[in-house]
Structure 1
Amino acid sequence: MGHGLVEEDVSDEKLLQSVAEGDKAAMHIIFARHRKRVFRFIQRLVRNPAIVDDLVNQVFLDVWRSANRFESRSRVSTWLLSIARFKALNSRRERLHEGIDQEDALGIVDEGDTPDAALDRKETKDILRACINKLSPAHREIIDLFYYRESSVAEVSEIIGIPQATVKSRIFYARKQLARILVGAGLDAAATP
């Protein structure tokens, strides 16, 4: 049963080549490896929790169908997120009445916190999240990808499909805008990402 070890070692690129050849086992590994990341990414873009799973499945269905079109200039994970972004934005266009903003990953409290500190942290995060939600969609997306998903400038450029220089200036303006909103909300600019 040395199978588990094998799948740990196989790179995403190699797996995707196998997927392109119709290998279902390789597809299962890709799904297991990336499902959470794609799920969280879509969850932040789409406010309606009822459709997140459906969109995640559509992303992986696309991967299964178009694995042979993957160009190894980018990382597989980056390619997956660009497919996910496309699906999420399309679904948003179809459903302009978005549901309420789901409590997202930022609301998760640290087990080691005292109740007071946890509440403090959660309140700060809630204020921060509310402020981020006031940004323009383009700025919100940049902050989300760059700071919360820790994507590199190159990855952000690929996922959104804009030049790296544009990513950098957008990050710069998004931070300035966010700092202004935070100060207005009574949070020190030091709390910005």
Structure 2
Amino acid sequence: MPPSASLPAALSSPLGPEPKATARPGGGEPQAVVPPFEAVYEEHFDLVFRNVRRLGVPDALVDDAVQEVFLVVYRRLGQFEGRSSLKTWICSIVTRVASDHRRALRRKSPHACGKAEAVDVDTVVDERAEGPHEHTVRLEGARLLHKLLDELEFDKRTVLVLAELEGMTAPEIADALGENVNTMYARLRAARRDFDQAVARERARDTWRLR
């Protein structure tokens, strides 16, 4: 389960500005109401935590990646203009931080990425809330999901995670990644195809092992 969403010491004081409207360039009506950082942190902690894991950041680096995401949010929150949802904006930061962590890890150890035994915290229920068999099945399903995601290129993995697991639309993903929306539709189709092929390979391996 994810750690408590209490503020890390590096971000605990000050908490950032009170909610305020961001003015449009050149005047006019304000664009968005910017919530205080503490509220953003509490509301989006789980979103950040689960997606740095889904995007392949190894368990040992997850806490560092989460703190790095919120450090960027803290520094840039006053610049948020409301052109997308706050969730979309934060997801754009998550994808950049996850990509940077994977790239740095790959430089240190070329075979390190894609080997983490990450578990999707959104798919795992506390064992006390269900029977041990159901808990084991759910846990194995979560591990299999991450194993299959590990077989995808990072760009395809990202769009698949945001679309299928976070329920974001192609235009929202395009905003988050700074890409053309048609490119996102094409990449999502390719990601789904590659994921289905990974599932088929895994089933074939299971069939071979049972012979």
Q: With structure 2 as the length reference, what TM-score do the two structures score?
A: 0.66
Counterpart pick for 1:56 among 57, 66, 88: 66
Q: When the two structures are aligned, how many residues end up with a matched partner? A: 168
Whichever residue aligns with residue 51 of structure 1, its letter is: L
Residue 167 and residue 68 in structure 1: after superposition, are their counterparts in 2 closer, same or farther (change >3 A)?
Answer: same
Which residue of structure 1 aligns with residue 99 of structure 2?
89
Paired residue type of 1:169? A
Which residue is 2:119 aligned to?
A: 103
Question: Per the alignment, do residues 16 and 65 of structure 1 end up closer, same or farther by CA in structure 2, a change over 3 Å counting?
Answer: farther
- Tell me what 1:22 maps to: none
> 1:45 corresponds to which residue?
55
1:151 corresponds to which residue?
168
Of 55-64 and 69-78, deviating more is 55-64
Is 2:197 the counterpart of 1:180?
A: yes
CA shift in 2, pair 1:54/1:110, >3 Å: closer
Residue equivalent to 1:15: 19
Task: After TM superposition, give the deviation of residue 107 of structure 1 in Å.
Answer: 5.2
Conserved in 2, the CA contact under 8 Å of 1:59 and 1:87? yes
Unaligned runs of at least 5 residues, structure 1: 1-13, 19-24, 188-193
Answer yes or no: is 1:73 the counterpart of 2:83. yes
1:33-71 superposed Cα distances (whole Å, 9 cap, x missing partner): 111211211222243223322232222222222223222
Q: Structure 1's 121 and 174: CA in aligned 2 closer, same or farther, altered over 3 A?
A: same
Q: Distance in 2 between matches of 1:120 and 1:156?
A: 31
2:170 partner letter = V
Q: Are 2:185 and 1:168 equivalent residues in the alignment?
A: yes
The letter for the 1-side match of 2:50 is R
1:92-146 Cα offsets, whole Å, 9 max, x none, are 2222133642222365158676655554555455444322321222222221111
Q: Which residue is equivalent to 2:40?
A: 30
Structure ranking higher in helix proportion? 1
Q: Which amino acid in structure 1 is aligned with residue 19 of structure 2?
A: L
Matching of residues 116-155 of structure 1 within 5 Å? 116=133, 118-155=135-172
Give the superposition deviation at 1:32.
1.1
Offset of residue 170 of structure 1: 1.2
2:61, 2:144 → 1: CA distance? Answer: 26
Aligned mates of 1:62, 1:124 — CA distance in 2: 33
CA RMSD of aligned residues (A): 2.9
Of 139-148 and 125-134, deviating more is 125-134
1:180 offset after TM fit, Å?
A: 2.2
Counterpart in the other structure of 1:3:
none
Q: Percent identity, aligned pairs only?
A: 26
- The separation in 2 between residues aligned to 1:45 and 1:124, in whole angstroms, is 17
Change (3 A) 1:17 1:92: farther
